[in-house]
Amino acid sequence: MDQKQSTPGQTPPIDVVIMAAGKGTRMKSRLPKVLHRIAGRPLLQHVMDTAAHLQARKVVVITGHGATEVEAAIALNTGAEAHFSIECVRQDPQLGTGHAVQQAVPALPDDGVVVVLSGDVPLTQADTLFHLIAACEGQNLALLTLELSEPTGYGRIVRAGPNADGAVQAIVEHKDASLAERQITEIYSGIMAVPAAQLKRWLARLDNNNAQKEYYLTDIVKFAVADGVKVVGYKIDDPVQVAGVNSPVQLAELERAFQLQQAHRLMEAGVRLADPARIDVRGDLLCAHDVSIDINCIFSGQVSLGEGASIGAHCCIANAVIEAGAVIHPFTHIDGEGLGVTVGAGALIGPFARLRPGAQLGAEVHIGNFVEVKNSTLAKGAKANHLAYLGDATVGERVNYGAGSITANYDGANKHRTVIEADVHVGSNCVLVAPLTLGAGGTVGGGSTITKSTEPGALSVARGKQVSIANWNRPVKKPKA
Ligand code: UD1
Ligand code: CA
């Protein structure tokens, strides 16, 4: 990708460094920490999305622990990074955050402003970073800070002046802080915006003479002060935006925070949620007006809900288009991965229905309890209300498909299609051995195993004839010996 050149008067280009080399011991997981997921997406991907919102020119990811896996995950992704060039740089061994950013130096053009982010801090809003970048003004060192009543563990923002509320003088890491410094409640979030050329000069001066024998990125603050460069603390009051993930508990906390944000966005758009604390959206959920969603529903991938659609409790819906006025009753499972699923206008689905990839249901279709539909098209008004399977089928308008009936679409080697023309009535417990066509308006008697196509309008029955023997004497129990 070509690199934009900064010209006088223009805001400099933004390059992002994402630190992601740390171990994440407390996750107790084989998966590298930054590949754990929030809302179905790796933490690192959330950070990349933020970089995309910033219209970053370049993103440099510092990898270390699990580098191969992290780099493979980045290479696989076809989403946000399409907008910027991306480079992975290894940090091995990991000698601290300053050492991490030192590894990125050769990859960073001198003319940009560098925004330093962490791969395990997923929920920073682009708007916040725009403010931070504005505070940098292409020449200052801008630090994102936060007031915390419980600041233990964090780097403290040391300010000048008799009331310690003047210009920023330094960041002191918790382990290096004096008792007095530990009383400071303004902390460094781990996020900064800094002109690349300055950053490079300061990084070259870092040492590891500190409590942790690490190269601290935060030490550049004192170099900036010494060089007469203005250090700006941009303070926010939303801890979620700078919260890192170090443990499964923190991962779950951020998941809830993220889901609640999404729930509020949906409600602001007019969606009625029975309980904003009980919905999970792992992807993009697009809703028209007057949609209502009951508790404990999970939406994954790309889902759209048409005007007036109603989703019952406990539904899992992935990669599907639900058209206007459709009603999805509770405990319905819809997964359109690959071929997609469409539920037509005014259709009634469930409870306990299962729609698999390629289920294309027309308007006013009814799919009832324990009915599975896969790779099948059902035309307007077709019904399969109980305990049935439709796989690789084309079903005409107004077809009534009886309880317990199945398409035997798989012969053990190949799949075959079943065509059921308009107005056919399939009785209960039928086996339709594909490939075959049931002619329009025909009837299949209950319990039939149909192996050949049937004529339009015909009644087809394929089962043992009923035999009745009059006055049948049932066996009786023998007397005990
Ligand atoms: C750092 C800051 C601290 C701040 C805190 C906010 C330093 C020295 N301290 O603390 O002031 O309050 O963040 O959370 O910067 N990483 C690497 N390579 C390394 C070390 C770390 O890539 O050698 C990565 C980690 O994977 C993580 C990020 O850098 O994503 C921050 O590291 P972490 O150990 O969490 O930060 P602290 O040093 O605790
Ligand atoms: Ca740490």
The two tokens of residue 226 are 């010494």
Please indicate, yes or no, whether residues 23 and 165 belong to a single structural domain of this protein.
yes
Rounded to whole angstroms, the Cα distance separating 374 from 366 reads 15
- β-partners of residue 286 are 304
Digit-by-digit pLDDT tens for the chain (481 residues) are 344 444 455 689 999 999 999 988 999 999 999 999 999 999 999 999 999 999 999 999 999 999 999 999 998 875 555 578 999 999 999 999 999 999 999 999 999 999 999 999 999 999 999 999 999 999 999 999 999 999 999 999 999 999 888 999 999 999 999 999 999 999 999 999 999 999 999 999 999 999 999 999 999 999 999 999 999 999 999 999 999 999 999 999 999 999 999 999 999 999 999 999 999 999 999 999 999 999 999 999 999 999 999 999 999 999 999 999 999 999 999 999 999 999 999 999 999 999 999 999 999 999 999 999 999 999 999 999 999 999 999 999 999 999 999 999 998 999 999 999 999 999 999 999 999 999 999 999 999 999 999 999 999 999 999 999 999 999 999 999 8
Q: Provide the pLDDT for residue 11.
A: 83
Please state whether beta strands 393-395 and 418-420 pair in parallel, antiparallel, or not at all (unpaired).
Answer: parallel
- Backbone Cα Rg of the chain: 31
Establish whether 386 is a catalytic residue. Answer: yes
Domain assignment present for 24:
yes
d(CA 479, CA 473) in angstroms, rounded, equals 17
Secondary structure class of 222 (helix, strand, coil):
helix
In ligand 1, the atom with minimum distance to the C-alpha of 94 is 23
316-322 vs 297-305, strand pairing mode: parallel
Tokens of 295: 């508790």
**222, 283: one domain:** no
- Cα 96 to ligand 1 centre (Å): 7
For residue 221, being part of any structural domain is answered with yes
Please name the amino acid found at residue 100.
Answer: A
Q: How far is CA 434 from CA 32, 188, 309, 357, 384, in A?
A: 47, 66, 34, 19, 18
The CATH number of the domain holding residue 396 is: 2.160.10.10
Pairing of strands 41-42, 37-38: antiparallel
The rounded Å distance from CA 211 to ligand 1 centre is 14
pLDDT of 278 reads 98
* Whether residue 204 is found in the same domain as residue 308: no
Same domain, 209 and 309: no
Whether residue 197 sits in one domain with residue 84: yes
Residue of 97, 192, 206 best suited for mutating to test ligand 1, as the one with most atoms within 8 Å of CB: 97
Beta strands in 383-468 (DSSP E): 383-391, 393-395, 400-401, 406-408, 418-420, 425-426, 431-433, 436-438, 443-444, 449-450, 459-460
* β strands within 306-446, DSSP E: 310-311, 316-322, 327-328, 333-335, 341-343, 348-349, 354-355, 360-361, 366-374, 377-378, 383-391, 393-395, 400-401, 406-408, 418-420, 425-426, 431-433, 436-438, 443-444
Residues 223, 281, single domain; the answer is: no
Amino acid at 155: G
Same domain, 195 and 234: yes
Number of domains the chain is built from: 2
User: In the prediction, which pLDDT does 82 show?
Assistant: 59
Instruction: Give the pair of three-digit tokens for residue 468.
Output: 């009745």
What is the 454 CA–ligand 2 centroid distance (Å)?
A: 72
SS3 (DSSP) at 469: coil
Token output for 404: 């317990």
Q: Report the CATH number that the domain containing residue 214 is assigned in CATH.
A: 3.90.550.10
Is there a domain that residue 33 lies in?
yes
> How far apart are the CA of 437 and the centre of ligand 2, in A?
66
Do 119 and 190 have their domain in common?
yes
Q: Which atom of ligand 1 is nearest to the CA of 215?
A: 8
Nearest to 369 by CA among 387, 344, 383: 387
Cβ(144)–Cβ(157) below 8 Å:
no
298: which 2 tokens?
A: 């999970």
Ligand nearest to the CA of 96: 1
Catalytic hit among 131, 386, 416, 425: 386
Which ligand is closest to the CA of 18, given by its number? 1
* Residue 239: how many other CB atoms lie within 10 Å: 14
3-state secondary structure of 59: strand
Unique residue bearing structure tokens 């933004």: 14
pLDDT at residue 259, as a whole number: 98
Question: In a 3-state reduction of DSSP, which class is residue 15?
Answer: strand
> Is residue 290 domain-shared with residue 215, that is, in the same domain?
no
312 and 231 in a common domain: no
Model pLDDT, residue 80:
53
Shared-domain flag, residues 230 and 306: no
DSSP-derived 3-state class of residue 18? strand
Per the domain annotation, does 266 fall within a domain? no
- Tabulate helix, strand, coil % of the chain (nearest 5): 20, 30, 45
- The DSSP output letter for 410 is B
Structure tokens at 7: 């010209």
Amino acid code (one letter) for 422: A
Joined together, the tokens standing for residue 168 give 């920023």
CA–CA separation, 406 and 16 (whole Å): 56
Q: Could you give the CA distance from residue 54 to residue 49 in angstroms, rounded to a whole number? A: 9
- Pocket residues for ligand 1 (CB within 6 Å)? 19-22, 62, 64, 91, 94-97, 99-100, 118-120, 154-155, 171, 173, 187-190, 216-218, 244
Instruction: Please give the structure tokens belonging to residue 121.
Output: 């801090």
Q: Looking at the domain assignment, is residue 158 inside a domain?
A: yes
Provide the 8-state DSSP code for 175. Answer: G
**Ligand 1, closest atom to CA 219?**
8
Protein residue closest via CA to atom 26 of ligand 1: 22
Q: Which tokens belong to 435?
A: 């490939």
Examine residue 254 and state whether it is found in any structural domain, yes or no. no
pLDDT at 307: 98
Q: How far is the CA of 17 from the centre of ligand 1 (A)?
A: 13
Structural domain contains residue 423:
yes
What is the pTM (predicted TM-score) of this model? Answer: 0.92
Phi, psi of 434 (to 5 degrees): -75, 155
Element (H, E) at 102: helix 97-104
67 within some domain: yes
pLDDT reported for residue 83: 77
Instruction: Give burial (CB, 10 Å; 0-12/13-18/19+) of 245.
Output: buried
Q: Are residues 90 and 41 in the same domain?
A: yes
**Cβ atoms of 303 and 284 closer than 8 Å:** yes
Do residues 29 and 71 lie in contact, with contact meaning Cβ atoms separated by under 8 Å?
A: no
In terms of residue numbers, what domain contains 154? 14-242
**Which atom of ligand 1 lies closest to the CA of 188?**
12
